[in-house]
């Protein structure tokens, strides 16, 4: 995909129901110039007005470099966006209907047509939005008054910062970047799920417990499951060589081993074998769906969910040491197979107390078609979205479960990880949702940033309020929630 930004053009006044079409414009770049900090690119920042960003550098140890990067100025302000069906974008017909309602309420609407750009695995599409008014950063309260007036007229709306919308902006951007060069780095990379799979934990807590030099939040986690289980990663997770969450087959992740990092598509397989028959273990450390067999490990950290299924407890050798009803803890040194429906029937038939159940776990690199050895030095974080492959933008939003306007086009805080051709690991956190200080990035802009930083392959980890970078014991970015959020997992850079 070419490097593009959307330019906002609104039509109001007498043409209140006309359509303004944000056009796509190429980003300008300057010729190579001397970078202010050794180790950053020597070309202009890829977003906003051409120019080398302001930056500062600190060495955190052999091979570990930490940069702060700032670029651009604040020129965006606020508008009021009409909401229909819970969304601030809609069909043309709906936009026209909403605009008429705004007019009937005595206000002047502006309909904006825009295109959600195509990405590698998802086509472009046109949408419409309805805006009312325009205010500077200091006049947000005036926009809020309009929202209240529209509510009285039965129209749902919200105050919207125009820097978030994904159209052309001057910024500003505030980033934290860490690069780790394996040629001189003497530590290791690990993933962490904190004290348990089920529980969410802050990056700083996980970093402190492991003695990490650097840490960033990991992948997406399941906010739609049971309340006490929302630390579960939504994709493959391997910690110290142990599979703690199954893959969504084909989704991308980062494989860490020692001081090496590699980005690739992944799959996993867990199979239980008892009495000469095999059963697929569909999930690890998550709630079972109808007729599924799932496995809970000692790292789960919560009682297994109660349902009408059956559980068998396995010791380290695979011997069934107990058959029980769901809803109990997973004790140290054991695993629990939990079956619902047909899977429960399989357990009753083949996994009675005293029987042996062999569980085989396989993780496959889908690019090389090879099995990844699950050694104690192996970690995997795979709740992510592909951004860059082979040095080219390759945003896999559809395959990786994030193909929508909000994620592709709108700007958010981002946590990014990339690997250069020489094997250097790049970790970047772009702050956002912070009007006047940092606008964040869209998927497209995140890919441009990682290419600018030299990534041959790059992924988008969890973002928004989850985005956090910890150096030593300090959170160095500005989490958009105002405080550090508990997350599912973290990527750690350890001193040894």
The span from the CA of 305 to the CA of 321, in Å, is: 20
Q: What angle do CA 237, 240, 244 make, to 5 degrees?
A: 30
Is it the case that residue 4 has pLDDT exceeding 60? Answer: no
Helix (H, G, I), strand (E, B) or coil at 444: helix
**What's the average model confidence in pLDDT over 280-292?**
98
Measured from the Cβ of residue 473, the count of other Cβ atoms closer than 10 Å reads 9
The span from the CA of 172 to the CA of 241, in Å, is: 41
Is it the case that residue 25 has pLDDT exceeding 50? Answer: no
Q: What is the tens place of the pLDDT at every residue in 97-141? A: 999 999 999 999 999 999 999 999 999 999 999 999 999 999 999
Strand duo 125-135 + 109-116: pairing: antiparallel
Q: Cis ω on the peptide bond leading into residue 172 (within 30° of 0)? A: yes
Convert 356-391 to b/e letters by CB count within 10 Å (16 or more is b).
ebeeebebbbeeeeeebebeebbbbbbbbbbbbbee
In the block, tokens 């950063």 appear at: 137
Is it the case that residue 337 has pLDDT exceeding 70? Answer: yes
Answer for the pair 441, 432: CB distance below 8 angstroms, yes or no: yes
- 312 Cβ neighbours under 8 A, 6+ residues apart: 320, 322, 323, 324, 336, 337, 347, 351, 353, 357
Is it the case that residue 32 has pLDDT exceeding 60? Answer: no
Q: Let me know if 253 is exposed, middle or buried by CB neighbors in 10 A (0-12, 13-18, 19+).
A: buried
**What's the average model confidence in pLDDT over 286-294?**
97
In 153-238, which ranges are continuous DSSP H helix?
Answer: 203-210
**What's the average model confidence in pLDDT over 318-336?**
98
Return the closest-CA partner of residue 132 out of 176, 98, 164.
Answer: 98
Residue 26 confidence (pLDDT): 31
Is it the case that residue 318 has pLDDT exceeding 70? Answer: yes
Q: What is the tens place of the pLDDT at every residue in 65-85? A: 999 999 999 999 999 999 999
The span from the CA of 233 to the CA of 347, in Å, is: 26
Residue 42 confidence (pLDDT): 83
The span from the CA of 102 to the CA of 91, in Å, is: 16
Say what the pTM is.
0.92
Return the closest-CA partner of residue 232 out of 291, 302, 289, 282.
Answer: 302
Return the closest-CA partner of residue 423 out of 177, 190, 185, 216.
Answer: 185
Question: How much is the mean pLDDT over the chain?
Answer: 93
Is it the case that residue 425 has pLDDT exceeding 60? Answer: yes
Backbone dihedral angles phi then psi of residue 24, each to the nearest 5 degrees: -95, 130
């Amino acid at each position: 995909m070419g490097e593009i930004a959307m330019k906002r053009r609104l039509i109001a006044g007498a043409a209140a129901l006309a359509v303004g079409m944000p056009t796509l414009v190429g980003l300008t770049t300057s010729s190579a110039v001397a970078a202010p900090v050794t180790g950053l690119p020597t070309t202009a920042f890829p977003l906003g007005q051409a120019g080398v960003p302001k930056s500062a550098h600190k060495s955190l140890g052999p091979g570990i470099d930490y940069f702060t990067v700032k670029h651009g100025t604040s020129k965006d302000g606020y508008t009021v966006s009409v909401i229909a069906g819970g969304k601030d974008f809609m069909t043309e017909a709906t936009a026209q209907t909403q605009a008429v309602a705004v007019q009937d309420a005595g206000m002047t609407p502006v309909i904006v047509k825009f295109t959600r750009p195509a990405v590698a695995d998802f086509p472009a599409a046109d949408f419409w939005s309805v805006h009312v008014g325009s205010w500077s950063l200091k006049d947000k309260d005036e926009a809020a008054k309009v929202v209240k007036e529209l509510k009285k007229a039965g129209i749902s709306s919200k105050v919207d910062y125009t820097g978030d919308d994904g159209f052309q902006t001057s910024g500003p951007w505030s980033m934290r970047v860490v690069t780790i060069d394996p040629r001189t780095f003497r530590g290791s990379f690990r993933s962490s799920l904190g004290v348990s799979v089920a529980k969410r934990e802050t990056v700083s807590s996980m970093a402190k417990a492991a003695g990490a030099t650097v840490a960033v939040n990991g992948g997406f986690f399941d906010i739609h499951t049971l309340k006490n289980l929302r630390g579960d990663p939504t994709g493959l997770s391997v910690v110290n060589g142990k599979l703690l969450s199954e893959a969504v087959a084909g989704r991308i992740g980062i494989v860490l081993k020692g001081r090496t990092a590699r980005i690739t598509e992944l799959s996993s397989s867990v199979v239980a074998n008892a009495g000469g028959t095999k059963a697929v273990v569909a999930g690890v450390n998550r709630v079972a769906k109808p007729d599924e067999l799932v496995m809970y490990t000692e790292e789960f950290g919560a009682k297994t969910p109660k349902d009408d299924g059956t559980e068998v407890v396995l010791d380290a050798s695979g011997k069934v040491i107990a058959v029980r009803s769901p809803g109990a803890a997973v004790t140290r040194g054991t695993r629990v197979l939990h079956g619902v429906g047909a899977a429960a029937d399989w357990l009753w038939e083949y996994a009675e107390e005293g029987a042996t159940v062999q569980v085989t776990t396989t993780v496959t690199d889908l690019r090389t078609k090879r099995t990844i050895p699950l050694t104690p030095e192996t970690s995997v974080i795979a709740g992510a979205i592909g951004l860059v492959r082979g040095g080219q933008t390759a945003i896999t939003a559809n395959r990786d479960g994030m193909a929508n306007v909000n994620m592709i086009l709108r700007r958010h805080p981002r946590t990014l990880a990339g690997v250069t051709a020489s094997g250097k690991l790049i970790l970047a956190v772009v702050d956002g949702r912070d009007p006047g200080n940092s606008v964040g990035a869209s998927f497209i802009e995140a890919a441009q940033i990682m290419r600018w930083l030299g990534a041959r392959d790059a992924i988008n980890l969890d973002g928004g309020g989850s985005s956090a970078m910890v150096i030593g014991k300090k959170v160095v970015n500005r989490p958009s929630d105002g405080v550090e959020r508990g997350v599912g997992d973290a990527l750690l850079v350890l001193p040894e």
